[in-house]
Amino acid sequence: MTIREHPLAWRWTDPEHSVLPEDTLAQMASIQPVEAEQLWRHSVSLVTRSGLAAHEFATISRHSADVSRDVGRAWLQAQQQDSGAPVIISWDQATAIRTTWEVFSSHWDAFCYPASDDVLVFPDSEEGAVLFPRGRVSVWASVEDRTKRCTQQPPALSVAIVAWS
């Protein structure tokens, strides 16, 4: 399935919503439902019913999610220094894509619809996650080194959790 055939392609190809540039679409790839479910199952281990699985994170900071596109973009980009880091964007067990942190953070509002979505964004390296459930609090959390289970120096790729309502 191409990115234009993805079930949510209207979000980034329909003028009534958002039309992303061709070079941006070229950096997005659909994930088949079977793999999407495997990735989703792994990633939700970072979240509990009450929010973040606190024992998985070294640091947590908060920021309002009720912000303009530019403020949200700037905040997200400041959280991750490696803009080329591959990430997975997952809406549910069967719906996901691969792209880069740059594409996601630059166009976050095309991927996250506050009134309807629970979106999980996490590095392809599986070192963390970004969650956009329904709420109004943004949280950035740095993942612990899972091999050592320490909080000394978090890995280069951290985790963002953002909530919408």
Residue 103 vs residue 60, higher pLDDT: 103
User: What's residue 133's pLDDT?
Assistant: 55
Query: Which conformational region is residue 10 in: left (phi greater than 0), alpha (psi within -120 to 50 degrees), or beta?
Result: alpha
User: What's residue 103's pLDDT?
Assistant: 96
Residue 49 vs residue 135, higher pLDDT: 49
User: What's residue 3's pLDDT?
Assistant: 96
Q: How many angstroms separate the CA atoms of 63 and 27, rounded?
A: 28
Closest by CA to 121, choosing from 37, 7, 43, 69, is 43
Each residue's pLDDT tens digit, 6-32: 999 999 999 999 999 999 999 999 999
Q: How many angstroms separate the CA atoms of 156 and 70, rounded?
A: 24
User: What's residue 95's pLDDT?
Assistant: 93
Based on C-alpha coordinates, what's the Rg of the chain? 15
Domain chopping of the chain, boundaries: 30-162
User: What's residue 135's pLDDT?
Assistant: 44
User: What's residue 45's pLDDT?
Assistant: 73
CA angle 149, 118, 163 (to 5 degrees): 70
The average pLDDT across 44-49 equals 70
User: What's residue 146's pLDDT?
Assistant: 35
Please state, rounded to an integer, the average pLDDT across all residues of the chain: 74
Which of 46-50, 77-81, 128-132 is least confident? 128-132
The average pLDDT across 56-73 equals 74
The average pLDDT across 76-95 equals 86
Each residue's pLDDT tens digit, 103-137: 998 998 898 876 666 777 877 765 555 666 554 44
Buried b (16+ CB within 10 A) or exposed e, 47-61: beeebbeeebbbeee
